Amino acid sequence: MNVQEILNQVETFNENRNYWFIRTDTGKHFDIFYEGKYIAIGWDYLGLKDIFSKSDSEIKEIIGKNEKLDPFDTVQKGKITAIFNKITSFLKLRKGDVIIVPSRNSDRLAFGEIVEKEPYEDSNAIEMGNYFKRRTVKWIENKSIYELDPMFYQLKSNQHAISNVDRFAPYIDKVVGNLFKKGDKTHYVLNIEKRDDINFRDLTKLMDNIEDIIIEINKEFQFDDNLDEFFVKINLQSPGKMELIKAGKSLAVLAYLLNLVSCGVDPKAENDPQIKNLVTKIDKKLDNTKTLIDTLDIDTNDIIQPFANKDKHGK
């Protein structure tokens, strides 16, 4: 695989996408949504035809009548507006937005991406009068809450039917991707699964090795990356994540090299002459890094995944 092919395997995350937490009626609809590859919202007395053909005031009037809320009472008027805002937020979800839905007791969280521009109505659900306003979703991950960053417990306490959670984007991105570009920076996430205490020297040696390999990559391919602009975010609860963040191209090549040693491929067998020349220079460093990956129980399936299917991004 040459450099351009490697770079093509890096996912691109839209900087402008939004992130949403959507309830599943205390988990009742979690499995249905997940297996059906969609999300849906209630207030079934309002169909898409009503919503798209009537004014906001007319829609709020329908909500008030069906919910038995008085629009002239300040508190009840606020409840009408809240319902209206939830429905319109759901319908305005954009293609590419990331959504999270919880199971019963929020023991599991499913992460997905909106894949259609427009909402739709399911005719069978309309007949049953049940959650027929829907959005098509590509599910990416289905995780136990105990596998995730403790930050996700804050989402668990959110009781709104739909709420914007853009402020948690950096945490969510690390769940739905492990090698991706957002803005001008590449992000590479290593999942450390070691449950015992993490040896300080093993961790620092891994980071030293990574820095040394990045320097050699930059030199070999003349990327002219700014080596001072290299950051790491670590949240190690044993297990936990280490996220490497860097502008430029060298981090993607590092990810590819770690993929090779993780799946048992001899890097020196690479056909690309530049890759072969590079690994000849850093062969011992790569071997040592593989040993540290094993010692720290870093998930090699995640390391291999971005390169498992060369054409997975349609490039």
Three-state helix/strand/coil letters over the chain: CCHHHHHHCCEEECCCCCEEEECCCCCCCHHHHHHHCEEEECCCCCCHHHHHHCCHHHHHHHHHHHHCCCCCCHHHHHHHHHHHHHHHHHHCCCCCCEEEEECHHHCEEEEEEECCCCCEECHHHHHHCCCCEEEEEEEEEEEEHHHCCCCHHHHHCCCCCEEECHHHHHHHHHHHCCEEEECCEEEEEEEECCCCCCCHHHHHHHHHHHHHHHHHHHHHHCCCCCCCCEEEEEEECCCEEEEEEEECCHHHHHHHHHHHHHCCCCHHHCCCHHHHHHHHHCHHHHHHHHHHHHHCCECHHHHHHHHCCCCCCCC
Distance (Å, whole) CA 250 – CA 256: 10
Instruction: List C-alpha distances in Å: 79 to 25, 64, 135, 182, 184.
Output: 18, 9, 24, 37, 42
Class of domain 19-176: alpha beta
How far, in Å, CA of 118 to CA of 135, rounded? 7
98-102 and 19-22 beta bridge pairing: parallel
Does pTM top 0.95 for this prediction?
no
- Half-sphere exposure of residue 116: CA atoms within 13 angstroms, side-chain side: 13
- pLDDT for position 127: 64
Q: Do residues 242 and 194 make contact, with C-beta atoms less than 8 angstroms apart?
A: no
Spell out the per-residue pLDDT of the chain, length 315, in tens. 899 999 999 999 999 999 999 998 888 899 999 999 999 999 999 999 999 999 999 999 999 999 999 999 999 999 999 999 999 999 999 999 999 999 998 899 999 999 999 999 998 887 667 899 999 999 999 999 988 988 898 887 777 889 999 999 999 999 999 999 999 999 999 999 988 888 999 999 999 999 999 999 999 999 999 988 899 988 776 678 899 999 999 999 999 999 999 988 888 888 899 999 999 999 999 999 999 999 999 999 999 999 986 544 433
| Segments making up each domain of the chain, as ranges | 19-176, 179-307
